[in-house]
């Protein structure tokens, strides 16, 4: 597994990180605890030592599973977690209504006031069973709290030795600039895939010029780019993917047709479509690391395979030409 420096920080991360959203079950129709632990152990044992989680993923469950999996291995892994999404307090900006893993209705709030950040960090450290977090990221911006106040809280956590490096998620260029006036920002975690490339216009150029790493999440567009999800696919209760515009017609059929066009490339290399898609994503300008979710050991093995080869410039150009012909109604 290749490792890359995260921005200008001293932290190095595996180019493919374990995305731990799905193992929390929330928005994914549930998850199996034993399968999740086996997946985490397989990832760590095979060099995928960077793990990205968050309190909101299963309302603490994802962090708890990560904490259990890294027992006795803390010095081998890089833990990336988040703050700023609260379901247990009604402060900040209301985000959206949802249901927890038991089906109970709850409301999510974007809140990153100073005391809240400090409290969330302590809670995450307990669930993760560790005394420090490698990368601490605001999950979503909180318009009710000055960015400087939020980043001052993270700076204090760094001074206390509870956080190594500061990062952000879902920030635009102006928000990145504002945060950087208070603290050194190593990375910005944003959605990016073959079929969602809006960051290429403004964010990628800024991050390249400022040496800010981009951590790409949902590089497989929540599983769609594996080619395994067809029209009429049965999703588990609570799975939010069917409501995504990429999963709706005519986009679904157009994406599946595009993936059919890529199959000869994958077959020629004896790799899966998912591995081809992940490797293409890794080679895009500005992308330091990609998050690949997995709910079982088999999915981890497939994700690991995406880092064991390198698409040629000719292959990437072929893919890009096909992408240029793909028109989506988003």
Residue extents of the structural domains in the chain: 3-223+276-310
78-83 and 133-138: which strand pairing? parallel
Question: How confident is residue 55, by pLDDT bands cut at 50, 70 and 90?
Answer: very high
Is 57 an annotated catalytic residue?
Answer: yes
Q: How large a percentage of the chain has pLDDT more than 70?
A: 99
138 membership: H or E segment, kind and range: strand 133-138
Does the domain at residues 3-223+276-310 carry the CATH identifier 3.20.20.100? yes
- Report the distance separating Cα 255 and Cα 328, nearest Å: 8
Stretch 308-324: mean pLDDT, rounded?
Answer: 96
Contact 259, 273 (CB under 8 A): yes
What is the rounded average pLDDT of the residues 205-229? 94
Return the HEC string of 232-271. Answer: CCCCCCCCCHHHCHHHCCCHHHHHHHHHHHHHHHHHHHCC
Q: Which of 153-157, 159-163, 236-240 has the lowest mean pLDDT?
A: 236-240
The token pair at 57 is 């993923």
Predicted pLDDT of residue 231? 84
Degrees, nearest 5: CA angle 315-319-321: 115
Which of 288, 266, 279 is closest to 310 using CA atoms? 279
Band (315; pLDDT cuts 50, 70, 90) = very high
H-state helical runs in the chain: 33-45, 61-69, 114-128, 147-159, 173-180, 203-210, 251-269, 273-282, 297-305, 313-324
From 57, 83, 171, 247, the catalytic residue: 57
Question: What does the pLDDT read at residue 31?
Answer: 76
Complete DSSP assignment for 208-238 = HHHT-EEEEE-TTTTTGGGS---TT--PPTT
- pLDDT number for residue 142: 98
What pLDDT digit, counting tens, does each position of 70-84 carry? Answer: 999 999 999 999 999
User: For position 101, what pLDDT does the model report?
Assistant: 84
Q: Which residues pair with 133 in a beta bridge?
A: 163
pLDDT (mean) for 247-252: 91
pLDDT for res 159 = 98
- What pLDDT shows up at residue 242? 85
Summary mean pLDDT of the chain: 95
Rg of the Cα atoms in the chain = 19
pLDDT at 147: 98
Look at residue 256 in the predicted model and tell me its pLDDT: 94
pLDDT value for 241: 84
pLDDT tops 90 at residue 285: yes
In this predicted structure, what is the pLDDT of residue 240? Answer: 81
Label residue 115 exposed, middle or buried (CB < 10 Å: 0-12, 13-18, 19+): exposed
pLDDT surpassing 80 at residue 260: yes
């Amino acid at each position: 597994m290749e490792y890359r420096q995260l921005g200008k920080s001293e932290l190095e991360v595996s180019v493919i990180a374990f995305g731990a959203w799905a193992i929390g079950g929330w928005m994914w129709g549930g998850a199996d605890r034993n399968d999740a632990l086996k997946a985490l152990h397989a990832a760590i044992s095979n060099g995928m030592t960077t793990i990205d989680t968050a309190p909101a993923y299963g309302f603490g469950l994802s962090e708890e599973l990560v904490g259990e999996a890294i027992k006795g291995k803390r010095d081998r892994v890089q833990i990336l977690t988040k703050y700023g999404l609260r379901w247990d307090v009604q402060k900040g900006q209301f985000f959206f209504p949802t249901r927890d893993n038991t089906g109970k209705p709850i409301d999510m709030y974007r809140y990153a006031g100073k005391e809240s950040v400090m409290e969330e960090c302590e809670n995450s450290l307990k669930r993760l069973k560790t005394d420090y977090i490698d990368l601490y990221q605001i999950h979503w911006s909180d318009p009710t709290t000055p960015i400087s106040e939020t980043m001052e809280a993270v700076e204090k956590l760094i001074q206390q030795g509870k956080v190594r490096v500061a990062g952000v998620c879902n920030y635009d260029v102006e928000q990145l600039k504002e945060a950087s006036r208070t603290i050194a920002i190593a990375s910005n975690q944003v959605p990016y895939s073959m079929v969602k490339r809006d960051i290429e216009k403004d964010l990628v150029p800024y991050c390249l010029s400022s040496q800010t790493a981009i951590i790409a999440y949902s590089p497989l567009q929540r599983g769609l780019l594996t080619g395994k999800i067809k029209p009429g696919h049965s999703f588990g209760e609570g799975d939010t993917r069917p409501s995504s515009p990429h999963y709706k017609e005519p986009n679904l059929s157009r994406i599946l047709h595009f993936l059919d066009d890529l199959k000869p490339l994958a077959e020629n290399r004896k790799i899966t479509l998912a591995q081809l898609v992940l490797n293409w994503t890794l080679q895009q300008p500005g992308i330091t690391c990609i998050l690949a979710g997995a709910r079982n050991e088999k999915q981890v093995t497939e994700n690991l395979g995406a880092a064991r080869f390198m698409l040629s410039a000719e292959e990437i150009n072929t893919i890009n030409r096909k992408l240029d012909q793909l028109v989506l109604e988003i």
